[in-house]
């Protein structure tokens, strides 16, 4: 069955007092015990494998940013053929490098 439609006046609607406040549940157990502590020393203390992975991620990001910067600069100064070459080389290098990295990772497990 449908419930009766409640009619409220405009001032009450605009004030937002027409809604019933929902009580917030109280947390009985401390949540901070589940969150690991992240400090500067724990972040920088890493194994050589993780440091190498960070180096690869930073290298890929730097290569992507530099290739984009070189491509846009070449296009801005009117060297469309150089910009097209950088774009083509980047579109070829990234997939080859990604699949090579995936293959290396799978074969060195």
pLDDT over 70 (residue 36): no
Q: Kindly state the greatest CA–CA separation across the chain.
A: 73
What confidence score (pLDDT) does residue 100 get? 92
Residue 22, token pair as written in the block: 């929902």
- The pLDDT > 70 percentage for the chain reads 75
Residue 55 contacts residue 48 (beta carbons within 8 Å): no
pLDDT of residue 35: 61
pLDDT for residue 76 is more than 90: yes
CA pair distance 50, 43, nearest whole angstrom: 11
Q: Is the pLDDT of residue 28 over 80?
A: no
The pLDDT assigned to 15 comes to 80
Angstrom distance (rounded) from CA 86 to CA 76: 14
């Amino acid at each position: 069955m449908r419930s009766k439609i409640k009619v409220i006046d405009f001032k009450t609607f605009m004030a937002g007092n027409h809604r019933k406040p929902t009580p917030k549940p109280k947390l009985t157990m401390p949540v901070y015990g589940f969150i690991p502590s992240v400090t500067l020393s724990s972040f920088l203390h890493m194994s050589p494998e993780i440091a190498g992975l960070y180096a690869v991620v930073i290298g890929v990001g730097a290569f992507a940013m530099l290739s984009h910067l070189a491509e846009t600069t070449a296009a801005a100064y009117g060297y469309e053929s150089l910009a097209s070459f950088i774009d083509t080389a980047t579109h070829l290098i990234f997939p080859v490098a990604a699949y090579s990295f995936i293959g290396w990772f799978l074969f060195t497990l």
